[in-house]
Amino acid sequence: MTAEEKILKCRQCGRDFLFTPEEQAFYSKHGYGSPRRCKDCRRAARLQKAGRVYSGVCAACGKEARVAFPPAKETLVYCGDCWAQIAAERRSMRKTRGSR
């Protein structure tokens, strides 16, 4: 059993993505073939299926931002990367203020 990383092409966005040995093991264990879409597209499809995703423009970097609420005019939306950064900043801010 020599598992190697495979490069697959996403059917949805056309980008190459990595199919790792761990994923290959998972897929064969469950009797699936190779994934046809990259992780990003799969995640987006999952969120869309749940009916909880809205698209906006990230206020920080301008990339597409997928959010779980409809972006209101005055609400800034952020992509996953920027949101993680902001959340971390907020957390540290709360800590220094010593709330609670």
* Sole binder of Zn ion in the list 5, 9, 12, 26 (CB under 5 A): 12
Interface with Zn ion includes 10 (CB under 5 A)? yes
Q: Are 76 and 59 in contact (CB under 8 A)?
A: yes
Interface with Zn ion includes 44 (CB under 5 A)? no
Interface with Zn ion includes 13 (CB under 5 A)? yes
Least distance (Å) between residue 70 CB and Zn ion: 18
Interface with Zn ion includes 41 (CB under 5 A)? yes
Where on the chain is the footprint of Zn ion (CB under 5 A)?
10, 12-13, 38, 41, 58, 60-61, 79, 82
